[in-house]
């Protein structure tokens, strides 16, 4: 059995409405299918996610959490299960361009000095209408960044105490030792909808203050 070169991590909690679109966009990548694995972690969903995911059983490596353990813990669990030297996170309510994996992987493979690479993204609504284009470094999001797996492990993966802003903490720790480069192509589709975790302003502010406490002035840069 050929080992994949890319592990795509998809953590999902009650995303029955969107996860099919996400997985179809990954299965439709232009890169050869044996070059990547899709590791899906169902974090104790209580909706019909299990039924939807069963339709993709032949295309995914599925991890089922018996109970909800939270996003960062689920991501860490999936990354530890990953078999490839490169890893990229795609959230279950988002989707990607068909060239997403091919282009990100090519840049890292051909440019050994690059530690990680992020692509620009399109902000879309529930109907997939484009709301705007975003610079991935000026307006960073948690996804659409391909890392070298060994470097993520080196920095200790996600801090599981950050139930929100987990990506901010990861990025701050990662960039102390490594660098994230930008690919100026909008290959990622970041969906805005009423159930986005980032809509909880109070919880976001709580974890933002924790980021400041942990990282000090670096978090303001």
Look up tokens 């899709």; give the residue: 38
> Where would I find the H helices in 15-143?
19-27, 49-54, 71-81, 100-110
pTM of the complete model: 0.92
For the chain, the structural domain boundaries read: 6-160+173-194
pLDDT of residue 219: 60
Give 6-160+173-194's CATH code, choosing from 3.50.50.60, 3.40.1390.20, 3.90.550.10, 3.40.50.150: 3.90.550.10
pLDDT of residue 193: 82
Please give the average pLDDT of every successive group of 10 residues along the chain, which has 221 residues.
92 96 98 97 96 96 96 96 97 97 96 96 95 96 96 96 91 96 97 72 75 74 54
pLDDT of residue 53: 97
Contact 8, 39 (CB under 8 A): yes
Contact 189, 91 (CB under 8 A): no
């Amino acid at each position: 059995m050929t080992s994949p070169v890319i592990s795509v991590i998809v953590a999902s909690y009650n995303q029955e409405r969107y996860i099919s679109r996400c997985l179809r966009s990954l299965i439709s990548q232009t890169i050869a299918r044996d070059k990547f694995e899709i590791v899906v972690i169902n974090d104790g969903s209580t909706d019909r996610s299990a039924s939807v995911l069963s339709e993709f059983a032949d295309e995914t490596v599925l991890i089922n959490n018996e109970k909800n353990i939270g996003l960062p813990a689920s991501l860490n669990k999936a990354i530890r299960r990953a078999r490839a030297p490169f890893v990229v996170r795609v959230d279950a309510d988002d989707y990607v361009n068909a060239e997403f994996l091919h282009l990100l992987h090519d840049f890292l493979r051909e440019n050994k000095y690059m530690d990680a690479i992020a692509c620009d993204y399109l902000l879309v609504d529930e109907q997939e209408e484009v709301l705007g284009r975003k610079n991935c470094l000026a307006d960073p999001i948690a996804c659409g960044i391909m890392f070298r797996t060994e470097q993520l492990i080196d920095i200790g993966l996600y801090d599981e105490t950050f139930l929100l802003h987990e990506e901010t903490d990861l990025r701050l720790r990662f960039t102390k030792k490594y660098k994230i480069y930008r690919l100026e192509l909008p290959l990622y589709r970041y969906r805005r909808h009423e159930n986005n975790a980032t809509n909880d302003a109070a919880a976001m502010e709580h974890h933002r203050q924790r980021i400041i406490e942990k990282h000090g002035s670096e978090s303001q840069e």
